[in-house]
Each structure stands twice: as C-alpha cells, then as structure tokens.
Amino acid sequence: MKSQATLPVAATALACLAGCGPGVQSVMAPGGSQAGQIATLAWLLFGFGAVVLAIVIVALWLAIRGSPRLRTALARETMIIALGLVFPAVTLTLLLGYGVWLMQPDGDHDDRGVMRIEVVGEQWWWRVAYAGATPIASANEITIPVGRPVEFVLNAADVIHSFWVPSLGGKVDMIPGRTTRLRLTADRAGIYRGQCAEYCGGPHALMAFEVVALPPTEFDAWLAREAAPATAPSTDGERHGQTLFVAAGCGTCHAIRGTAASGTIGPDLTHIGSRRSVGVDTMKLTHANLVRFIAEGQHVKPGNRMPEFRIFRPDELDALAAYLSSLR
C-alpha cells in the first residue's frame, strides 16, 4: 500500500513543481535565456541530489542487510574518508564552480540594443517608467519586446521589495535609497507573472504584476500607443465619469496624461483601459471590478493605500468605470 501510494504522490508533486499554474510563474518553465540557465542549474542540482540520495540509501541498505564482508568494507576508515570528505568536497566545489560560471552576468557591459525600464516598488504596487524620447509612466504591468535584452533599473520607495519574474530570471531586491539592476530577455512571446518576493507589509501577497512579452513590431506599436496622451471621452457616460474623476479629487493621486490629473502618489492611469488587471493584479480588468475597487477596495485588497470611495452613487461608479475603461 505504502509503496503504491508513493509513486503517484511524488509524480504529482513533481508535476506541480514543474508547472505551477499554466507555466506563467515557474522557474521550471523558462521563457528566456537567464531563466533557462537557472532551470538548467536547478535540474542539475535535483539530479545530483538524487544520485547522492541513492548512494545513501544503498549504503544504508548494505549496512543493515549486507554480508559481513561488505559491512566490514563499509566501516573501513578509507571508505569514510572517501565518501564522507573527499566526495562532497570535490563534487560541491565542482558544482559551485559551474554555478558561478553559469550565473556570471553575460554581456552586461554591452549596452547595445538594451531596453531600459525603471521599476519602483511601492507599498503595494509597481511604478513603471520607460525611458525614451517621451518618458512613459505606467504601473503594475510591464510590456517588453521579445528577443531584446531588457535592463530593469530597480528602486524602492518605502520598504524593501523584491522583483521576481520566475519564468524570466532570478530575483533581485529593491532597496530604498539604492539602485539595483536586473537584465532579462524573453525568448518567446507570452505573459509571465511576477511577484514581490520580499515581505513588505499587509497586502504583500497581492503585490503581483504581469510581464507581457510582445514581438518587436507589436511592441513598437504598443510603445507608440502608450506614449500618446489619454483619449478624450466619447460618450456622455464617459464624459460624466471624467467630470467626477476631477471633482472627486482622483487626479490628486493619479495622473492621466493629457488631462489636468497629474497626481504622482498612486499609479498612472493614462492607459488603464488597455491593462489586464485592476488593483495591482488583484482582479481582471472589467467594468464590474473597476467599480468594486473604487467603492470597496479595502475588501478586495485590505490595507491598500487607496481609501474606499463609497461616496459615489451606483450610477456615478458606472460612469467612472466607463471613463477608466475608455482610457485605452
């Protein structure tokens, strides 16, 4: 019974390890060269660990069930020196050397074709800025081109956060008052999920984000769209929403480029309608979820810095959500 159960359980655990979710947030599902190296190293370590475990099990079995001759051989001092000292010293040194060689920053001094994106960790969201002719501010979603190295320039505004997109590479801490860097390259288009990997207070667990990797031409088109100011509202409902947005003071914390709203305390909302989520990857971006986040954000994401705006009537919330959705 016991031996029957072990195999399926182990297989399930391994499968889960290899593909948590649909492979958008897993070290074992690399989407770029840096992540590939980490995955290679991880597999090597697992393999090596398995070999060592096998040796230990065999030695243990021999020590208990082996013939007296084998047991005497096993207890010899040379055996202890060989397996207990020499073997680990040699193999661990080799592994360390391989790891250091594998993880060396490749071509970090070569800045040609590198795209630079600044990310600031804030309680509890991600401030994103694309350097360029028109600096583009965004939040909680990072779009990158496929095949081009991206250097993330990382900072923290309040406490230590950690930037980690498991499918694209290793994690790097974001430390207040200090700039850290991380270079990643996505080899295939897709969506990769990232997560703050350093406990940073209340809603830390909900401080996630998505990296959207687009083919270069699509990326250029996206960047051009993102650089443009916000679209003007086109329907009465959207216009009413914009009026409410201004009158309720939303623009004192949130910026919408091309309007008077220029707050820098909260996420930039210039193109929020084209993002995939609301409330820092807490919920999918839908009309209903926008309404929910505005009116009961503290239930959706307890402790977040935006107060609940329960002052709005349902029709006003609808207008606001319509306006925000129109900012594509």
Partner 1 sequence: MRISPSVPRIARLALYGAAGLALLGFLFVWSGVYSVAASRGHWPTMEWFLTFAMRNSVKTHAYGIDAPPLDNTDLVTLGAGHFHSGCAFCHGGPGVPISPIAQGMLPSPPDLATQMRPWRDRELFWIVKNGIKYTGMPAWAAQERDDEVWALVAFLRRLPSLDARSYRDLALGNLQVPQQSGREVATTETASEAIGACARCHGDERHAPTSALVPILHGQPAEFLTAALESYAHRRRASGIMQPVAVELGRDDLGRVARYYAGLLPPARPLNLLPDATAAIVRGRALAEQGDPEARVPPCAGCHGADALKTYPRLAGQNAPYMTNRLRLWKGGLAPGTDGEAIMAPIARALSERQIDDVSAYFASLGAAPGAPAR
Start-to-end C-alpha separation, the chain: 58
Min dist. Cβ of residue 317 to partner 1 (A):
13
Min dist. Cβ of residue 34 to partner 1 (A):
34
Q: How many residues bind partner 1, per CB under 8 A?
A: 17
**Burial of 209 from C-beta contacts in 10 A (0-12 / 13-18 / 19+):** buried
Query: Can residue 309 be called a binding residue for partner 1 (CB under 8 A)?
Result: yes
- Angle at alpha carbon of residue 137, lines to 133 and 140, rounded to 5°: 140
101, 268, 280, 306 from 256: Cα distances, Å: 46, 6, 17, 17
Q: Return the closest-CA partner of residue 120 out of 157, 162, 164, 166.
A: 157
Query: Measured on CA atoms in the order 271, 158, 264, 183, is the torsion positive or negative?
Result: negative
Contact 146, 190 (CB under 8 A): no
Range list of β-strands (E), 38-139: 115-122, 125-130, 136-139
Task: Tell me whether residue 30 or residue 266 sits nearer to partner 1 (CB atom).
Answer: 266
Task: Tell me whether residue 28 or residue 250 sits nearer to partner 1 (CB atom).
Answer: 250
Query: Can residue 308 be called a binding residue for partner 1 (CB under 8 A)?
Result: yes
- The Cα–Cα gap between 142 and 119 comes to 9
Structure-block tokens of residue 45: 């370590």
Task: Tell me whether residue 255 or residue 322 sits nearer to partner 1 (CB atom).
Answer: 255
Phi-psi region of 164 (alpha: psi -120 to 50; beta: other; left: phi over 0): beta
23, 117, 146 from 130: Cα distances, Å: 27, 5, 16
- Choose one: 60-68, 86-94, 110-118, 307-315; the region binding partner 1 (CB under 8 A): 307-315
6, 54, 66, 266 from 61: Cα distances, Å: 19, 10, 7, 62
Min dist. Cβ of residue 91 to partner 1 (A):
52
Min dist. Cβ of residue 237 to partner 1 (A):
18
Q: Work out which of 9, 265, 299, 315 binds partner 1, going by CB under 8 A.
A: 265
- Backbone phi and psi for residue 257, each to the nearest 5 degrees, phi listed first: -60, 135
Q: Work out which of 188, 225, 276, 310 binds partner 1, going by CB under 8 A.
A: 310
Q: Work out which of 264, 286, 287, 302 binds partner 1, going by CB under 8 A.
A: 264
Min dist. Cβ of residue 263 to partner 1 (A):
6
Min dist. Cβ of residue 250 to partner 1 (A):
9
Task: Tell me whether residue 222 or residue 312 sits nearer to partner 1 (CB atom).
Answer: 312
Interface of this chain with partner 1, residues 219 to 248, rule: CB under 8 A: 244, 246-248
Interface of this chain with partner 1, residues 244 to 263, rule: CB under 8 A: 244, 246-249, 251-253, 263
Query: Can residue 7 be called a binding residue for partner 1 (CB under 8 A)?
Result: no
**String of contacts with partner 1 for each residue 104-143, x by CB under 8 A:** ----------------------------------------
Task: Tell me whether residue 29 or residue 320 sits nearer to partner 1 (CB atom).
Answer: 320
Min dist. Cβ of residue 299 to partner 1 (A):
12
Task: Tell me whether residue 165 or residue 280 sits nearer to partner 1 (CB atom).
Answer: 280
Q: Return the closest-CA partner of residue 152 out of 160, 137, 136, 164.
A: 164
Residues in touch with partner 1 (CB under 8 A): 244, 246-249, 251-253, 263-265, 305, 307-311
